[in-house]
Structure 1
Amino acid sequence: MEGFTEFRSQLTACRLCPRLVAWREGVAGKKRAHRGEVYWARPVPGFGDPKARLLLFGLAPGAHGSNRTGRPFTGDASGAFLYPLLWEAGLASQRESLPGDGLRLLGVYLTAAVRCAPPENRPTREEILACSAWTRVELALLPELRVYLALGRVAHEALLEQFGLRRSAHPFFHGAHYPLPGGRHLLSSYHVSRQNTQTGRLTREMFLEILLRAKALAGL
C-alpha cells in the first residue's frame, strides 16, 4: 500500500491543467442539492483492491459526483447504476458507495482517463494526454490486472494509447473484446452515464453481461 499512498499524495496535488483546476474548484457547492457541502475538488484517485485482476476505466469525475465525494463513481447517477451491479456480480461488499462506508471492492479497481472533473464532461485532447502519465503510474501499481474494462470511447482510446495499439485496428463498440499480450484482455462498454442508462442505450442487463464476462476472464 505504500506505493498507493505516495501516488495518491502526488496525484491529489496535481494542478497541471488550468482549465480543469478552475472548473473542479469553481463548481463546488453550486448545485442546489449540494449547496454548502465541502467538495473534494481535487484530482480523484482510483479506488479498489490493490491486488485487483479487473480494472474498470472511466472517463472523468462528475462535477457533483466524484468531484464532491472524492471516490470514483460515487455521489451521482453513474455510481447509482454501477455499484449495485458490482455487488450483484459478487465484486463489491455492498450495493452502495459513500465515502467512509467501509465498502470493499473484490478483485476490482476503479479509475479514469482524466482525474479532474471537466466542463460538460468533455476533457480536451491535451488534458487526456496530461493525465495519461498518472495512468501509467497507477497501472504499474496494479501488477495483477488481467482484464481492462473501458467505459466509453474516451476510456477505450486512452487505454489503447497506454498499450501502444492503433485505434483503426481496435475500434470502440459496446461488447468489444481485444486480446492483449500476456493473456490479458481489453473489453469495452458504453459508459454508465445518465445519458446512456436513462435513454436505454445501456441497460442493467447489458452491463451485467459484460461485467460477468470480464469477471470470468479475470479468473475472479
Structure 2
Amino acid sequence: MDEECRNCPALCETRTQVVHGYGDVGADFLFVGERPSAAADDVGVPLVASASDATDGDSEGKSDGLRRILERLALCDATSPADRPKLENVYLTNLTRCRDPERPPTDEEIDNCEPYLNAEIRMINPEVLIPVGERALAEIATEYTTTPATELAFPDAHATTIRGRGFALVPMVEARAQTDEQTQAWVEHFAALMASDYRQTKGRRER
C-alpha cells in the first residue's frame, strides 16, 4: 500500500494523506465507502467521525452513525478512541484513498484506486462485503455479483442480502442519510445474518 501514491495528481494537491484500509485483517465483514471523510483525511483511518463531519457536506459524514451500528453489533469496542476504533471481525476501507473536499471522486480516480481495493479484498478474504452508499454499491455490485448494477439501488437494496461471486453483499445507505427506521432495519438484518451460517463455500479459498 503506497503511502505516497501520485496516481491522481489533482488529489495529491487536496489530500492531507493517503487513507488505506483499517481494522481486523482476519475480518469476515468488509465495509466499503466512497471516499475518505474530512476526519479520515486528517487521522488516516477510513470511516471515522469528527464533530465537523456532520456539517461538512461529505457523502461519508456522520460516520459516528456507522460506529454506533458497529457497537450495537458488538463489532466495535465502545470505549476505544473515536479516531482509532478497536474493531473485531470488521475491516473498513473506501473506493478511493484521497480526498477532494469540494467534490466526489471521478470515475478515473476510482479506477486508479481499484488495485488497492482489490488487494485489500484479496488480503482480508471477507465473507460479506458491505457497500456504504450508492457509489460503493454500484462499483461493488458490478465487480462481485451477477446482478446488473442497474437493478440494485437504494432504498430497496438497504438491509438486504445479495448473493455474489464468492461474497454476500449487504448494502447500507450512508450513515448520515439513514432514518432511524433504516438503521434499525439494517442492524436487525445484519444481526440475523451474523447468527446464521453466512460463510460462503463456492469459489472460496481456505481462511
Distance 1:97 1:214, change over 3 A: farther
Contact 1:60 1:121 in 2 (8 A): no
Pair 1:91-2:59 in alignment: no
Structure 1 Cα separation of the partners of residues 118 and 35 of structure 2: 16
Contact 2:31 2:91 in 1 (8 A): yes
Cα deviation, residue 53, structure 1: 0.4
Contact 1:147 1:214 in 2 (8 A): no
Identity of aligned residues (%): 25
- Structure-2-length-normalised TM-score: 0.78
Pair 1:17-2:1 in alignment: no
Structure 1 Cα separation of the partners of residues 92 and 48 of structure 2: 11
- What do you get for the CA RMSD once the two structures are aligned? 2.4
Structure 2 Cα separation of the partners of residues 201 and 21 of structure 1: 37
Please give the residue correspondences for 1:117-128 in structure 2 after superposition, counting only pairs within 5 Å: 117-128=99-110
Cα deviation, residue 172, structure 1: 2.2
Counterpart among 170, 186, 199 of residue 187 in structure 1: 170
Counterpart among 135, 139, 142 of residue 158 in structure 1: 139
Contact 2:144 2:165 in 1 (8 A): no
| Aligned amino acid, residue 81 of structure 1 | G
Aligned length in residues: 185
Counterpart among 212, 215, 218 of residue 191 in structure 2: 212
Structure 1 Cα separation of the partners of residues 80 and 18 of structure 2: 22
Pair 1:136-2:111 in alignment: no
Q: Which moved more, 1:53-62 or 1:156-165?
A: 156-165
Q: Which has the higher helix share?
A: 1
Structure 1 Cα separation of the partners of residues 34 and 171 of structure 2: 12
Secondary structure at the counterpart of residue 56 of structure 1: strand
Structure 2 Cα separation of the partners of residues 22 and 156 of structure 1: 28
Structure 2 Cα separation of the partners of residues 129 and 159 of structure 1: 12
Cα deviation, residue 129, structure 1: 0.9
Distance 1:95 1:212, change over 3 A: farther
Secondary structure at the counterpart of residue 48 of structure 2: coil
Cα deviation, residue 43, structure 1: 1.4
Contact 1:55 1:147 in 2 (8 A): yes
Secondary structure at the counterpart of residue 149 of structure 1: strand
Please give the residue correspondences for 1:29-44 in structure 2 after superposition, counting only pairs within 5 Å: 41-44=16-19
Secondary structure at the counterpart of residue 171 of structure 2: strand
Q: Which structure 2 residue ranges, 5 or more long, are not aligned?
A: 55-61, 200-207
Contact 1:93 1:105 in 2 (8 A): yes
| Aligned amino acid, residue 46 of structure 2 | P
Structure 1 Cα separation of the partners of residues 107 and 138 of structure 2: 11
